[in-house]
């Protein structure tokens, strides 16, 4: 029996009739007239976006270099004097400060955050601690209330406020918190999320900026991560966030006195909040929304790099994914809503409006996500199958290398993890790009999705001391638990890139294959849940 006899007669007739040959010709015409031109246009667009991102990164690097060489510090640029005790005036020279601690079912960290807020070094009659508890778990709610009562019995001026609903989520809680009668005497409001633990001298180092500079509306502190060494995921997160604080926030503060409020570890002048129109819940980034409106009203912001507040990074892949969706969808949606408002504003000068629209929103909140995903995870793998499309070496190697070095240099202790950071960031760019498009076009019901980032507190960092396991075993079947962790988009991208890697290994350039194979593995590992996050970081 020969091979021809095994082929169905119908198919054999089509082959002999030249149908396959005709399909090959049709494919060749589609390739030449449609696919390749579209791919070349996509490459050009990605190249343009890469140049935009590169110029922005280099610009910020130059500013940071100047700041370090000149030794310019906020306390030198703005008038700053330590508040000193006055026997005659008593505590009246200390302004009234409201400390808001919003939380939602924070059973692992509520004691840490409330304790740190109550330990702030400030006259007890000039500070009010306000715990805004939106918890739906009765046990957690009761525990938080008991914790507040415990501190009240020690003479701390603390209020426990709870709502019957979660309207507006965090923005709604903060807004209602400012409406209480006892808040009317407060000049400044400090916000600490439930996992943030400020040092006792936080107010003494931040409040003086307001007292001697009436145009300052916000003082932002840096985040310091208590669980950065927990796993590979937290290490690469630390690299990205260190760049955000040490470079992006520093540059915005030093050049235009504007940056996006991080939602916590910051001090607001109450008058600035009121003039900006108060808290709004129209996006999932109510902090950035308020910051942009306050800046357009003429208020200046100050970032203090050496004022650090301890907090926790998401240590599970699920929590990190939800956080990244909110952080990418929210800014894009806010840009959509505020673009014309920024353009029409007559209070701030032209260069500040250009900075907010172009650098702050367009390049860093939109272009950075889109080009990272489409170029490195879509265009490059696709070009393997279309050798007619040439990719310039400067875009493939030189620009990303410079950008990567500028990002990693802010965290020198993790410089050896830069390859893992690249692969991890490229995979997460899929989630961020999806969130960006949802926010820009207000597509689907996830545009205002708000999922509180899970915090583990001491439960994961010190499981033995708490006499409980770090991760509670699930009662569900192993299969259902496994399927819940599977993310089909990431798995699909991983398979596609793996196919392109194999094709390149057989017919293309082998150095392409090395990158593509590594990226495919990263997509597949993260596509099957948080498996990769449990790997401890290399020492």
**Whether residue 287 lies in the annotated active site:** yes
For residue 222, the SS3 value is strand
For residue 299, the number of C-alpha atoms closer than 13 Å in the C-beta half-sphere is 26
Q: Where are the alpha helices (DSSP H) in 263-398?
A: 270-276, 286-296, 317-344, 350-354, 368-374, 380-383, 393
* Nearest-angstrom CA–CA distance, 189 and 179: 13
For residue 129, the SS3 value is strand
Cβ atoms of 329 and 284 within 8 Å: the answer is: yes
Cα 181 to Cα 8, 177, 197, 296, 431, distances in angstroms = 85, 10, 27, 28, 43
One DSSP character per residue, 150-195 reads HHHTTT--EEEEE-SS-TTHHHHHHHHHTTSGGGTT-SEEEE--TT
Q: Which residues are CB-neighbours of 385 under 8 A, at least 6 positions away?
A: 500, 503
**Whether residue 199 lies in the annotated active site:** no
Our measurement of the distance from residue 246's CA atom to the centroid of its chain's CA atoms, rounded to an integer in Å, reads 14
Of 56, 134, 281, 289, catalytic:
134
* Nearest-angstrom CA–CA distance, 285 and 332: 10
Cβ atoms of 101 and 132 within 8 Å: the answer is: yes
DSSP 92: T
Q: Which helix (H) or strand (E) holds 302?
A: strand 300-311
How many CB atoms neighbour CB 381 within 10 A?
A: 23
Of 133, 199, 287, 504, catalytic:
287
Cβ atoms of 255 and 59 within 8 Å: the answer is: no
Residues catalogued as catalytic: 134, 287
């Amino acid at each position: 029996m020969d091979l021809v006899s095994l082929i169905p007669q119908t198919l054999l007739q089509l082959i002999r009739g030249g149908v396959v040959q005709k399909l090959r010709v049709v494919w060749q015409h589609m390739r030449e007239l449609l696919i390749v031109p579209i791919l070349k246009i996509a490459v050009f667009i990605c190249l343009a976006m890469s140049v935009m991102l590169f110029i922005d990164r280099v610009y910020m690097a130059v500013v940071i270099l100047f700041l370090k060489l000149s030794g310019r510090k906020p306390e030198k640029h703005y008038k700053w004097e330590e508040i000193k005790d006055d026997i005659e005036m008593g505590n009246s020279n200390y302004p009234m400060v409201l400390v808001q601690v919003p939380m939602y079912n924070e059973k692992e960290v509520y004691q840490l955050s409330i304790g740190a807020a109550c330990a702030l070094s400030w006259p007890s009659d000039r500070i009010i601690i306000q715990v805004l508890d939106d918890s739906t778990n009765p046990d957690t709610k009761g525990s938080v209330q008991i914790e507040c009562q415990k501190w009240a019995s020690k003479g701390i001026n603390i209020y426990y406020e709870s709502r019957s609903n979660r309207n507006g989520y965090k923005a709604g809680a903060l807004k209602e918190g400012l409406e209480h009668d006892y808040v009317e005497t407060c000049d400044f409001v400090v916000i600490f999320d439930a996992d943030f633990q400020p040092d006792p001298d936080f107010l003494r180092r931040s409040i003086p900026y307001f007292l001697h500079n009436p145009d300052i509306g916000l003082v932002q502190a840096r985040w310091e991560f208590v669980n950065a060494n927990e796993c590979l995921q937290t290490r690469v997160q630390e690299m990205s966030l260190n760049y955000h604080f040490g470079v992006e926030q520093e540059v915005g503060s030093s050049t235009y006195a504007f940056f996006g409020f991080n939602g916590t570890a910051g001090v607001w002048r109450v008058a600035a909040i009121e003039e900006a129109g108060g808290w709004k819940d129209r996006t999932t980034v109510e902090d950035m929304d308020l910051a942009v409106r306050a800046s357009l009203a003429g208020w200046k912001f100050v970032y203090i790099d050496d004022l650090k507040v301890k907090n926790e990074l998401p240590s599970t892949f699920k929590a990190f994914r939800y956080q990244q969706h909110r952080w990418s969808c929210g800014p894009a949606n806010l840009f959509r809503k505020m673009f014309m408002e920024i353009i029409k504003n007559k209070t701030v000068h032209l260069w500040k409006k250009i900075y907010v629209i172009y650098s702050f929103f367009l390049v860093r909140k939109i272009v950075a996500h889109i080009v990272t995903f489409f170029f490195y995870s879509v265009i490059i793998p696709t070009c393997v199958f279309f050798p007619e499309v040439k990719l310039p070496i400067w875009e493939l190697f030189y620009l990303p290398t410079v950008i990567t070095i500028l990002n990693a240099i802010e965290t020198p202790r993790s410089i050896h993890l830069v390859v893992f950071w690249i692969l991890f960031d490229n995979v997460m760019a899929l989630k961020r790009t999806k969130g960006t498009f949802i926010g820009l076009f207000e597509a689907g019901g996830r545009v205002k999705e708000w999922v509180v980032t899970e915090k583990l507190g001491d439960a994961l960092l010190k499981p033995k001391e708490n006499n409980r396991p770090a991760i509670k075993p699930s009662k569900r079947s192993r299969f259902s638990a496994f399927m819940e962790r599977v993310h089909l988009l990431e798995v699909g991208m991983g398979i596609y890139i793996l196919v392109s890697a194999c094709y390149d290994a057989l017919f293309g350039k082998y150095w392409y294959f090395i990158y593509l194979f590594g990226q495919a593995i990263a997509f597949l590992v993260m596509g099957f849940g948080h498996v990769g996050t449990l790997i401890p970081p290399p020492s």
